[in-house]
Amino acid sequence: MTSPTRRTFLKTGAASAALLPFLKVLPASAQASETLVVVSGETINSLDLHRVGTNRASYQVAVNCYDRLVTFGRKQMPSGEMSFDYSVLEPELAESWEISDDGLTITFTIKPEAKFWDGTPVTAEDVKWSFDRAVSVGGFPTVQMKAGGLNRPEQFAALEDGRFQITLDFPSKLALPDLAVPVPFVINSKVAIANATEDDPWAMEYLHTTPAGSGAFKVARWDQGQQLVYERNDDWTGGPLPAVQRVIVREVPSQATRRALIERGDVQMSFGIPDRDAAELADELTVHSTPIANCIHCVALNTIFEPFRDPDVRKAIAYAIPYEAIFQTAAYGRGKPLWGGETEISDIAWPRAFPYATDIDKAKEHMAASGFPDGFEVPLSISLGLASWMEPTALLIQEALAPLGIAVTLEKIPGANWRTAALVEKTLPMHLENFGGWLDTPDYYFFWAYQKDRLFNSSNYYNEEVETLTNETLHMPTDHPDYAPKLKRMFEIAIEDLPRIPLYQPALNVAMNGAAGYEFWFHRQLDARPLTRAST
């Protein structure tokens, strides 16, 4: 817990004076009942998720300002917290949909009352243009569409009477759920085309700064690196109208300042707080700590680095890692442990605990049997943007590997450069990683993290059998008799090959002081639509 001296300081004028520069930039109505203020340590670098280089923090714009055809339902978890429900799909822009008997054709009827912000109707033509864009721009959006079997514009058709049709090459259990993730958002194509150019047919430059949607909120103001102001769209038809008129998302890099602001009640929500703050604030504020679906914090061993091609080296590291110390020091016990699992694979739960635990004798045995019995030198790379969990984890790993002769040096990479270095260039020999799969199936996780050349396969891992099994299970119904056996085989290989050593399933922490209605979503970004001001 925070010491009395620290807590007293936060509630004195000294803290208030330190916060004055922040408070001065808020609109005069920021504390009014119709406005909710959120602080975050992340920077929004684009208002268009489809743009190359758009970072994860920016995905919230697609959620709050645009609609998709469908959305996931909501459910109450045993903890009492609200979460998305992967098993339920509900209408957003679509009024209804029909699936052909062979599973190859999905036909949607667009809500006739749905309108864009400029008052023009949302049409099937807008949906087609938006889907054509998503499968054509390349990069992450296009691969995400591919995961649901959506590969090319010819699969999409605008029909009469406000209907939109998707034709699949093969039936897929992921086709409909993939329409509920942030990527396939529907754009006002008339506005976009009017601002497109010959060199920019998809209006990437225009939509980068000027959204054109039908979503629950409009962007009233964007001061890059400082704040994003959402204004409610009173004509929204995609769901229940938001209770607040305005949501201000302030970017505050200082962790200490964000904590002081939420403790004092100067803001109503602090989104994505560190595990330490979550543990210390839980007694005095409402703190939501939700294990992130299909997400794993792990040590990635890059196979381009010669020692990590040796299976005994990888196993030596897996047995040397101080898992419990990392979980308590870096995660403050929040989330779920992913070590010390059963050797026998009897179910298809994912994430799952791998059957490795801290055992220095086994680690030394594997190291002695390897081609590098005397050890080697290796940098361990971390992102400064994720330093709250990565730095203590890296220091503990550095210390734990020294007895094996593995001399680890820490390499700290600026958060702005992390995605390029770790995921795009894939040149970091040893690094910490955290990938969470949007579609909550194990095969979808393998699609992104274990298949060759995928964005989140930062280990440059390749196994021909894993490639085949992932392709076979990705679109296979979960009740198919071959589904579970194939997944279990994938697990066996991943546990044996160890390109990624799981540490724990992390939690997303959100502190609230004067706000209510928070819902956890798989994309790990702020969904402002259900938020309300808490009654006092």
User: Could you please report the per-residue DSSP string of 361-406?
Assistant: HHHHHHHHHSS-TT-EEEEEEEEGGGHHHHHHHHHHHHHHHGGGTE
Q: Residue 382: beta bridge partners?
A: 412
- Tens of pLDDT, residues 192-216: 999 999 999 999 999 999 999 999 9
Q: What pLDDT, on a 0 to 100 scale, did the predictor assign at position 166?
A: 98
Over 80: is that where the pLDDT of 6 sits?
no
Lowest-confidence segment of 141-155, 221-235, 339-353, 415-429 by average pLDDT? 415-429
Q: For 344, which DSSP code?
A: S
Lowest mean pLDDT of 31-45, 78-92, 210-224, 275-289, name the range.
Answer: 31-45
Q: Enter the DSSP assignment of 225.
A: T
The overall average pLDDT reported for the chain is: 93
Name which of 437, 440, 438, 432 is nearest 450 in CA terms: 437
Average pLDDT over residues 462-471: 98
Report pLDDT for 1. Answer: 35
Alpha carbons 348 and 482: distance in angstroms, whole number:
12
Side chain identity at residue 467, one-letter code: E
Residue 16 has pLDDT above 50, yes or no: no
- Other beta carbons within 10 angstroms of residue 478's beta carbon come to 13
Q: Does the pLDDT at position 232 exceed 70?
A: yes
What's the mean pLDDT in 355-361? 98
Average pLDDT over residues 516-521: 96
The pLDDT assigned to 79 comes to 84
Task: Give the residue with greater pLDDT, 12 vs 307.
Answer: 307
Whether the pLDDT of residue 488 is over 90: the answer is yes
- In this predicted model, what pLDDT tens digit does every residue of 293-319 receive, in sequence order? 999 999 999 999 999 999 999 999 999
Residue 315: enclosing H or E segment and its boundaries?
Answer: helix 311-320
Please give the residue that has the higher pLDDT: either 468 or 52.
468
CA distance 400 to 483: 38
Bond into 351 cis (ω within 30): yes
pLDDT of residue 26: 46
**Cα angle for residues 451, 457, 458 (degrees, 5° grid):** 155
Q: What percent of the chain is predicted at pLDDT more than 70? A: 94
Q: What's the average model confidence in pLDDT over 487-512?
A: 98
**Averaged over 344-353, what is the pLDDT?**
96
pLDDT of residue 416: 76
Q: Identify any residues that bridge with 115 across adjacent strands, giving them in sequence order.
A: 121
> What is the pLDDT at residue 33?
65
pTM of the predicted model as reported, rounded to 2 decimal places: 0.88
Domains for the chain: give ranges and CATH numbers: 4-61+215-290+508-533 (3.40.190.10), 67-192 (3.90.76.10), 295-505 (3.10.105.10)
Tokens in use for 310? 């040796």
Q: What is the pLDDT of residue 53?
A: 84
Under 8 Å between Cβ of 375 and 406: yes
Q: What is the CA radius of gyration of the chain?
A: 24
Instruction: Tell the burial category of 173 from Cβ atoms under 10 Å away from its Cβ (0-12, 13-18, 19+).
Output: buried
Least confident of 148-162, 264-278, 412-426: 412-426
